[in-house]
Structure 1
Amino acid sequence: MNNKINQELQKIEIPKELHKRSKLGVKKAKAEQQKRRFKNPFVAAAMILGLTTTSVAFAFPSLASQIPFMDNVISFFNDEERDYKDFETFSTDIGLAQTSNGTTVMIDNAVYDGTNITISFALETEQEIEQEIEISAMNRFDVVDAIGMGGSEKITKISDNRYVGLASFTPHFKDEGYPETVEITWSPEAFNSTSNDSVVEGDWSFAFSLNRLEGDIQLLNKTVQKENVSFTLQSIEFTDVSTVISYEQVIKDELLKEWESVTPVFHVTDDLGNVYMNGTGGGGKTTNDYKTFKGTSDFGTIKEGASKLIIQPIQIASLNYGKGHTKIELETIVIDLKK
């Protein structure tokens, strides 16, 4: 399969000016990344895996048609809680591929909803790996000019040597605003087996940009309080691919004296009984000696026919490192959906 891919790629002539421009863009992105790598003041509420970039890859519009299992990667991640049915329609076809040490890494599609970024990717390797694989936290996707980021990545094995992945993350910027266009880089460097010492190493690197999807923002500023926790749901934004809630949590010193961290997660349903989130959270940043947490969480688009959204914030107070935790369930917040 890899030889066939390489043969097809070699048939395409890359203009010299494009090659030069791509090198310069990636070099600049890598330099900016190195400056920021150890200056991240943010806390990721749901960091699972990670990703980033360093060398040059080129876009091929017909990549998915040349590589059948790359067609509609997002379909492998649809489930009852998150429906990505609109992802293919409104996302950008990235179509990047690069081969190193017998492993081809490909970026399929991506979308920037104005707050969160979702990217589907895949890889095919000549190496035999019996277990699932993951990417180290140091090699996460990176966003130029972002000063912090929280999110998650999933990688699923679909055959002996093929994997598909989905990354969803929220970058944070210095002015707490979000740009109209984001520049993204990724240098995975290695894919590690989750249960043994085998590793797939290579020199892959990608750089691309995404424009912001226009959304409909509904300001809320609804506050609920309980047990030294004050939670404010500030706004909700509806886009073609997602629903994004923005919030602020303030906790008192008494709670932090008992627990090392207090992280918000959510149970979100509608008046028809559809479940959008069930104990999951998002990314954000802490200030004021960890007493204030500002963050965002996203889920799929609202199901047709729903007229109300029911959001229950749940605070996970933890001692960390598996030493114990407790749940603090706050009152539900009901949002009337605009028709």
Structure 2
Amino acid sequence: MKDIYELLNDLNIDENEFEEMEVTDLEKANIKRSLKKAITKKKKRSSWKKSVAAASILVGLSITTFVTYPAYAGNIPVIDDIFRFFDNGKTDKETGLYYDYKKFSNEINMTKESNGIKITIIDAVFDGKTLTLTYSIDSEQDLGNADLSMPRITGMKAYGGTGKTSKIDTNKYVGMLTVSNLENKKLNVANIKWDIDSIRNPDHQTVIKGDWKFAFSLDATDSKIQLTDGSAEKNGVKVKIGKISFNPMSFIVYYDQEVSEMVKNKWDGVDVEFEIKDDLGNIYLGEDNGGIADEGSYQMNGSKTFKRLDPNATKLIITPHITLRDYNSDNFTSVEITKDGEKEIPLPEKPGKGKEQFELKDIIIKVK
């Protein structure tokens, strides 16, 4: 089957029929991003996850995704909304998860410079449980697949998070990260410390030492929590939706995952993804916030963030998609944090190989 670019090549087009339009820098960047994906040959990439065991708690995943767009911009400030820049090319209100984040965020504009590298926190927003911030990096050297530590929030003992960094020009980068409180409590104020003492470059197995220390506070946005008891179960996996938190930018689904002994004995891991739509037909995109579990347990409490709820919606239809998978050196690394540093934990051999996927029945939640 031909793709859209091949179909366009078959058309006879008069260039005088087109009318020029003004577009924003964000739209230019997203068009170039989509075009680059379409014309570049796909390369095989290995996915990886890291689970950290400390005090019998698995700290949520901290994954840094890195994409390079060297032709995009001459300098960082031309991107006025980094939240939307990382919205997977989505620029409209109907599809973009981070469409409203800039509007409800706080301008931080705090810069620290060390060892020829300048890091600036641009914007940040906190909803009582999840911190989302954007940043820029201006460096005198190439940072490759730059890997930064995650911020800490005072009073938060168990957390999960994700991070994304994108190269937009020579030695210039922008990024976005989230840190989510996985404990059963909500904070009215987030006292945030982000102490970065090194930047790892996995591409060259190098570490750049430095001293970038940030400290600031954020008031939580208004939010409402709705308790629920919806659940679904199949093939030895049960998912229960315990509560949903609604805020001006998004809503967060908190869930419990229960796994039978049969599944534990066969598979190394269980992943849960949600397909969510409302009674108006809107489809909601989401991001994983990580999860918490006892060491070695498949029973997990996790959360996922989705775009802002349509104010006219009265029901959410949540379809859990389950993936049972095996772990190997290409897709998983398990480490334990000790007083002497990180210690790799060997992976056990189990009969399940590859992956097995299925979906549970819909969980319908009435929005109050």
Q: Same fold (TM over 0.5)?
A: yes
Q: In the alignment, what sits opposite 1:142?
A: 152
1:183-222: CA deviation from partner (whole Å, max 9, x where unpaired): 2111233333453345544211111122222212222211
CA contact (8 A) 2:182 2:302 kept: no
Stretches of structure 1 lacking an aligned partner (at least 5 in a row): 1-36, 51-65
1:86-127: CA deviation from partner (whole Å, max 9, x where unpaired): 212211222210111221100011111122111111111122
CA distance in 1, matches of 2:164, 2:198: 15
1:155-185: CA deviation from partner (whole Å, max 9, x where unpaired): 0111112111100121234xx2122112211
Q: Kindly provide the amino acid, as one letter, of the partner of residue 93 in structure 1.
A: E
Q: In the alignment, what sits opposite 2:248?
A: 240
SS in 2 for 1:316: strand
TM-superposed CA distance for 1:304, in Å, is: 6.2
Q: Answer with 326-335 or 90-99: which moved more.
A: 326-335
Written as runs of structure 1 = structure 2, the 5 A alignment for 1:302-317 is 302-303=309-310, 306-317=313-324
SS in 2 for 1:249: strand
CA contact (8 A) 1:284 1:296 kept: yes
Q: In the alignment, what sits opposite 1:230?
A: 238
TM-score, scaled relative to structure 1: 0.73
2:121 is equivalent to residue 107 of structure 1: yes
Residue of structure 2 aligned with 1:118, choices 129, 132, 139: 132
Cα–Cα, structure 1 residues 179 and 304, in superposed 2: closer, same or farther, change >3 Å? Answer: closer
2:54 is equivalent to residue 43 of structure 1: no
CA contact (8 A) 1:45 1:263 kept: no
Q: Kindly provide the amino acid, as one letter, of the partner of residue 76 in structure 1.
A: F
CA distance in 2, matches of 1:68, 1:304: 34
Q: In the alignment, what sits opposite 1:169?
A: 179
Cα–Cα, structure 1 residues 288 and 46, in superposed 2: closer, same or farther, change >3 Å? Answer: closer
CA distance in 2, matches of 1:337, 1:172: 23
Q: Answer with 247-256 or 260-269: which moved more.
A: 260-269
CA contact (8 A) 1:217 1:235 kept: yes
Q: In the alignment, what sits opposite 1:91?
A: 105
Length, aligned pairs only? 280
Cα–Cα, structure 1 residues 288 and 304, in superposed 2: closer, same or farther, change >3 Å? Answer: same
Q: In the alignment, what sits opposite 1:62?
A: none
Q: Kindly provide the amino acid, as one letter, of the partner of residue 281 in structure 1.
A: D
TM-superposed CA distance for 1:264, in Å, is: 2.0
What's the RMSD between the two structures over aligned residues? 2.8
Cα–Cα, structure 1 residues 153 and 288, in superposed 2: closer, same or farther, change >3 Å? Answer: closer
CA contact (8 A) 2:58 2:295 kept: no
Residue of structure 2 aligned with 1:72, choices 81, 100, 114: 81
CA contact (8 A) 2:161 2:178 kept: yes
- What is the identity percentage for the equivalent residue pairs of Structure 1 and Structure 2? 28
Q: Answer with 194-203 or 88-97: which moved more.
A: 194-203
CA contact (8 A) 1:116 1:298 kept: no
CA distance in 2, matches of 1:267, 1:334: 12
SS in 2 for 1:189: strand
CA distance in 2, matches of 1:69, 1:123: 14
Written as runs of structure 1 = structure 2, the 5 A alignment for 1:145-294 is 145-173=155-183, 176-197=184-205, 199-271=207-279, 273-277=281-285, 281-287=288-294, 290-294=297-301
TM-superposed CA distance for 1:331, in Å, is: 1.0
Cα–Cα, structure 1 residues 122 and 288, in superposed 2: closer, same or farther, change >3 Å? Answer: closer
CA distance in 2, matches of 1:333, 1:297: 15
SS in 2 for 1:114: coil
SS in 2 for 1:205: strand
CA contact (8 A) 2:192 2:215 kept: yes
CA distance in 2, matches of 1:71, 1:291: 42
